Amino acid sequence: MSFSLTMLNLWIGMCRGVVGLPRDLKSLGYQEKGIEYRFVNQDLEEVVPDLMLASEQMRHTLLLEWKSGANTEADQLRRYSRVNQKDLQTKAFISPSAARSHDVTVVGRDEHADRLRMGLDAGGYAFPLLLADGEGLALSHNQFQIHQVTNLFSPRLSINWDRVASLFVPLDGDSALWEVAEVLAPKILHYMSERRPQVALEQICADICNTWGIMGQPAKEALRRRVRKVLSLAARQHFRAYLRWVGDVGRIEIVANPLDLEPDKRTVAYRKLKTVQKKFIEGLSTGRATDSGEQLELHLDSTNIGTDDAGTGGARRQR
């Protein structure tokens, strides 16, 4: 997983009390409230925290910003510094109790400690800086407004990184196409097992990401782009005999289902489908499955091709 996905799944997992992860945040009452949820500060300037956590018990909100590299963005930090209690209540929809206090928190890699500290100090921002290393998360600079949270990360919150799984946010806008296919392909087989004739893109995204409901539009649109791209490729290439991608309405149509065959033919057909799935993922991982439209496995009549969404590859979100 990327640093961003690891952090998302770690913090949400800690809030939900996932076995093998620290339960301290859950004990303090923190719950996830928004993933890349865009709102404006008192100056009507946008901020887009990677994750928002809130605790009515602690009367506190965390606005978390991941930094996988060494640099902070001065303008971004300035906009965060102008977020106040009213903004959290009326624009980010945090409860009045949880909005009583808040901390903008930068979470980065330990190897970038000096540069990240310099970025905060250059603007005079007292935002807590947490650094990830092989042992866990440590508070490196400044303090939280809630002393229990400061104590939690001082000197370090120990984390077994092997226990952080992509349970909650398996993909994002930067996920490789083969990674998206690894998540999507089993879901398509599941839709076939339910004998669904068609499934909307929005439903597919919600099915593969159980935090879809708290995602802001930047995160949702980035994920839609990646899923749309892979569905389009699948329907035009390896899965062409089974799926049609209808791009103008955003849905897949299942045009051939092994379960519709006679019982004695289903097993062979299903094995073939599993082979197609494997080859599609391998093709994406090696670059052999591309957006060229070339049919790599199946050569059927072109009338089965659905509308393609050209040029909708993933792009990093702009803030």
Tokens matching residue 277: 């799935």
Residues 231 and 307: their CA atoms lie apart, in Å, by 11
Quote the pLDDT of residue 258.
84
Q: With a cut of 70, which residues of the chain have pLDDT below it?
A: 288-319
Quote the pLDDT of residue 76.
97
> What is the reported pTM?
0.85
Quote the pLDDT of residue 262.
86
With beta carbons less than 8 A apart as the criterion, state whether 60 and 102 touch: yes
Alpha-helix runs per DSSP H in 64-145: 74-81, 85-90, 113-122
Return the SS3 of 195.
coil
Quote the pLDDT of residue 290.
54
Residues 209 and 45: their CA atoms lie apart, in Å, by 29
Write the DSSP string, 231-289.
HHHHHHTTTTTTEEEETTTTEEEE---GGGS-HHHHHHHHHHHHHHHHHHHHHHHHT-S
Of 82, 78, 48, 81, nearest to 65 by C-alpha is 48
Quote the pLDDT of residue 44.
97
Quote the pLDDT of residue 288.
67
Residues 229 and 237: their CA atoms lie apart, in Å, by 12
